[in-house]
Chains A and B, each alone.
Chain A
Amino acid sequence: MDPADKILLDHGSGGRIAHRLLRDLLLPAFDNPALAELNDGAILEVEGSRLAFSTDSYTVDPIFFPGGDIGDLAVNGTVNDLAMCGARPLALSAAFILEEGFPLEDFRRILGTMARAAREAGVAIVTGDTKVVPRGAADRVFINTSGIGLIPPGVRVASHRARPGDRILLSGSLADHGVSVLAGREGLAFQTTVQSDTAPLHRMVAAMLAAGGEAVHVLRDPTRGGLGTALNEIAESSGVGVLIHEETIPLKPEVAGLCELLGFDPLYLANEGKLVAFVHPEAAEAVLAAVRADPAGRDAAWIGEALAAPAGRVVMQTRIGGRRIVDMLSGEQFPRIC
C-alpha cells in the first residue's frame, strides 16, 4: 500500500475493491474466528444458544426516495442481515450522527419511519445514541443500527454451505432499490414508477426454514454490489460454480429500461428487500411455496443452480442462448457516455 493512498468512494461500493480493504486492513486488525466467517452477521455460541450479531451504517443520497427513506433501510437492513444468518431478530440499537442545521422535521420523519418499520418487523429498538457534528462534517444524517437475534436449533445456513446440485432462488424482481435511488438522485430527470423494495425478510426466512430445514444451505440479501457480487461471494466461499439463466431472472420493464439507457447492469444494483437462497433440490418446491406465501416473495423464481465446476465462478446463460461470465462488481457503476 502506498502511504499516499486515500480512501476512495469505491472502497465503499461493496465490490472487489471493498473486499480488498476488508482482507488487507480489517480482517488482520481484528483477527478472530467469528469475523473470519464473513457472513452477514457473526454467529456466537452463548451457553448452548446461538446468537446472530450484526451491525450496519446507513448513508444514502437522497435520504427520502420513492418507496422509502433512510429509516426503512436502517431497520430492515439490519433485520435482514440477522435473518440471513437464519436468526429471529430480538432487538436493535440505533445511533445517529446528525449534521448541524439538519431540519428537525426531517429527523422526526425518519424516526417515524424507523418506528413503523420496527413495529412491522416486530422488533424493538432498545438502545441508541445521538451525536451532532458541525456543518460540513457529515452529510445531514448517518444512521448505524446493530441487532441481535436467536438462531433456532437445527438451522445451519452459511455462505460456505452451497453444494453442487443446489437450486438457486431469487425472492423477487431485481434492482428495484438501486433504480429508485438513482431516479431520485439530483440531476437525473427521469420519471419512474419504480419503488424501493425495502422490506424485512425474517418472516419469509422463518417460513423457508420451517419448510426446508437444513436443506436451506445459503441465504444472502444482495444489497450493495447486487446479485452478481453476492453470487460470486457464495461461489468463492463454497468452492462451487454457479450457473444462472438470464431469462428466468425477474426484472421489471421500467428497471430494465432505465438500466439500458444508462448502461447499468441490474446484476450489480442494490436490492433492499430481496434474498437469494441455495436450496437442496429435495426441499425446493416446499421452500418456493413458503417464499411465495410472503407478500415480498410473490414474484420469487428459480434462477439457476450450483455446479461442481468452474469452482468459484459465476456463469450466465444469456437470454439469446449465449454464455458469459458474471464477475464481482469492480468499482461503482458509472453512467456511460453514449
Chain B
Amino acid sequence: MATRHSAEYRDRHLVQELSSRIRRLSRRPLRIMEVCGTHTVSIFRHGIRSLLPETITLLSGPGCPVCVTDTAEIDAAIELARRPGVVIATFGDLLRVPGSRSSLERERAAGCEVRIVYSALDAVALARQTPGREVVFLGIGFETTAPTVAAAVLAARQAGLGNFSVLCLHKTVPPALAALTAAGDLRIDAFLLPGHVSVVIGRRAYLPFFERTRLPCAIAGFEPVDILQAVAALVAQAETERPQVENVYRRAVAEEGNPAAQRVLAAVFEPADARWRGIGVIPASGLEIREAYAAFDASRRFPLELAPAPEPRGCSCGEILTARKTPPECPLYGIRCTPSDPVGPCMVSSEGTCAAYFRYHDASAGG
C-alpha cells in the first residue's frame, strides 16, 4: 500500500541500503529517543525496528500530545463538559483518555455534548452555528497544532464570537528536551527530533539545548527512508564523536522555521509553566492565552478548581515517557491496560508508545 507522493520515501531498495549502512557503521550500543508520537507510529507501522541491528534501541519520548496531558487537565475538560449549555469540541484522540474517575467518552455516553472536530476552525464554525451554546475547544498539541488554534482564536475574535473559547493545554518541545536531559540517570544517547514541530520552530530552536548536552540530534521526516537516514546520521555522529543538530528533513524544515506560524503563536500565546503527565511541572513548557485574548480563554471564562490528580496506581507512563522503562516492563501493560480499556494515556492515543507497542510489536515477528 503506498501513495504516489511518498513512494520514493518507501522504496524497498533504498531502505535495504540504509539498513545495511547502519549495520556497517554501528559499533557501540546507541539508545535513540524518538521524541515525536508520529515517529513512533511510523516506526511500528513499517516494521522499522526489525531492520535495525541489535546495537540500536529506539525509545519513545514525550512527543505524543495526548500522552503528556495531565490527569487534572482531563478532569477539567470533564467538569466543563458536565456544565449545562457547554459543548466540548475536541480532537478524537482525547475522547478515551481516562481522567481520575471518568473519560470524555463516558461523559458523552452519559449525555454530555462532546463533538469530535478535525481542526480548531471547525470548532469556531460550530460556535457560529450554535449561538445559544458555549463551545469549548480543547487546545492540545505541540508547536505543530498550536498555530492553527491561535488562528482559530484570531478568527473567532474577528467574527465577534462570544461563545467560543479554548481550554489551552498546549505544550512546547524544546523545554521538555531540556527537562529530560537535566534529570539525573539519563538513559538516552541521541535524539531523533520531530519533523512537523521543526517545520514551525526551525533547526535553530534546538541549539541552546544542544549546546548544553552535546548529544547527537537529527531532525527527521516521517517516511521510512527519512527515519532510517536520520538513524544513520545519528550513528555516524556517535561513532565519530562529532555530535550536531543535523537537519535530515531539509525538504520541509528551514533553519529559522516558519516565521508566519511563529508570529501567530506569539500574538495569541505566551509561555507558561506546564504539568506533563508522568514527568511533572516543566518551567515555560506550556502555552497560555495572552491577556488581550482573555475572552477566548476557557480557564478564565469558567473558573475551574484544578485539583492535582494522582497517577493511576501502578501506571508507568512517566517512566516510559522518559525512557526509564519499556511498555512491557509496566506491571499493568497488556493485563489491566489495553487499547480498548486503557489505564494510562500512553495506551490511549494511536500515537502512544504503549498502544503502538500493543498493536504492532511482537518479538516473534522480529518487530
- Which A residues contact B (CB, under 8 angstroms)? 6-10, 15-17, 20, 174, 187-188, 246-247, 249, 251, 253, 256-257, 260, 262-263, 265-266, 309-310, 313, 315-325, 327, 330-331, 333-338
Q: What separation, in Å, do the CA atoms of A320 and B44 have in the docked complex?
A: 12
List 12 extra interface pairs beyond A15-B340, A253-B4, CB under 8 A.
Answer: A6-B106, A9-B108, A249-B1, A313-B364, A319-B1, A320-B51, A323-B365, A325-B367, A327-B360, A335-B91, A337-B65, A338-B142
Give 23 pairs: A residue, B residue, CB < 8 Å, sorted on A: A6-B106, A6-B109, A6-B110, A10-B340, A174-B1, A187-B118, A256-B3, A257-B3, A265-B45, A320-B47, A321-B47, A322-B47, A322-B224, A323-B367, A324-B361, A324-B367, A334-B93, A334-B95, A334-B116, A337-B65, A337-B91, A338-B142, A338-B145
Taking CB atoms and an 8 Å cut-off, the chain B residues in 1-48 that contact chain A are: 1-6, 10-12, 15-16, 19, 37-38, 41, 44-48
Q: Which residues of A contact B51 (CB under 8 A)?
A: 320-322
Asked whether, in the complex, the Cβ of A337 is within 8 Å of the Cβ of B93, the reply is yes
Asked whether, in the complex, the Cβ of B4 is within 8 Å of the Cβ of A320, the reply is no
Q: Which residues of A contact B47 (CB under 8 A)?
A: 316-318, 320-324
For residue B311, CB closer than 8 A to chain A, the reply is: no
Q: What separation, in Å, do the CA atoms of A6 and B95 have in the docked complex?
A: 15
Q: What separation, in Å, do the CA atoms of A325 and B44 have in the docked complex?
A: 9
Taking CB atoms and an 8 Å cut-off, the chain B residues in 164-223 that contact chain A are: 196
Q: What separation, in Å, do the CA atoms of A153 and B339 have in the docked complex?
A: 43
A330 and B92 in contact (CB under 8 A), knowing A187-B117, A249-B1? no
Q: Which residues of B contact A325 (CB under 8 A)?
A: 359-362, 365, 367
Among candidates A256, A266, A334, residue contacting B350 with C-beta atoms closer than 8 Å: A334
Q: Which residues of B contact A10 (CB under 8 A)?
A: 105, 340
Asked whether, in the complex, the Cβ of A336 is within 8 Å of the Cβ of B360, the reply is no
For residue B81, CB closer than 8 A to chain A, the reply is: no
For residue B140, CB closer than 8 A to chain A, the reply is: yes
For residue B78, CB closer than 8 A to chain A, the reply is: no
Asked whether, in the complex, the Cβ of A327 is within 8 Å of the Cβ of B358, the reply is yes
Q: Which residues of A contact B366 (CB under 8 A)?
A: 323
Tell me the nearest residue of chain A to B360, going by C-beta: A324
A335 and B118 in contact (CB under 8 A), knowing A8-B109, A253-B4, A321-B51? yes
Q: Which residues of A contact B108 (CB under 8 A)?
A: 9
For residue B338, CB closer than 8 A to chain A, the reply is: yes
For residue B244, CB closer than 8 A to chain A, the reply is: no
Q: Which residues of B contact A257 (CB under 8 A)?
A: 3, 5
Tell me the nearest residue of chain A to B91, going by C-beta: A337
Tell me the nearest residue of chain A to B116, going by C-beta: A334
Q: Which residues of B contact A318 (CB under 8 A)?
A: 45-47
Q: Which residues of A contact B361 (CB under 8 A)?
A: 324-325
Q: What separation, in Å, do the CA atoms of A293 and B367 have in the docked complex?
A: 38
User: What 6 pairs between A and B have smallest CB-CB spacing?
Assistant: A322-B47, A334-B92, A330-B339, A320-B15, A251-B1, A324-B47
Among candidates B1, B4, B37, residue contacting A266 with C-beta atoms closer than 8 Å: B1
Q: What separation, in Å, do the CA atoms of A334 and B358 have in the docked complex?
A: 17
Find the residue from A174, A256, A257, A320 having the highest chain B CB count within 10 A: A320
Q: Which residues of A contact B96 (CB under 8 A)?
A: 331, 334
Q: What separation, in Å, do the CA atoms of A323 and B15 have in the docked complex?
A: 13
Find the residue from A10, A15, A322 having the highest chain B CB count within 10 A: A322
Interface string of B42-79 (1 = CB under 8 A from A): 00111111110000000000000110000000000000
Taking CB atoms and an 8 Å cut-off, the chain B residues in 325-367 that contact chain A are: 338-341, 349-351, 358-362, 364-367
A17 and B340 in contact (CB under 8 A), knowing A10-B105, A253-B3? yes
Q: What separation, in Å, do the CA atoms of A27 and B130 have in the docked complex?
A: 43
Q: Which residues of A contact B144 (CB under 8 A)?
A: 338
For residue B122, CB closer than 8 A to chain A, the reply is: yes
Tell me the nearest residue of chain B to A16, going by C-beta: B340
Q: What separation, in Å, do the CA atoms of A20 and B12 have in the docked complex?
A: 39
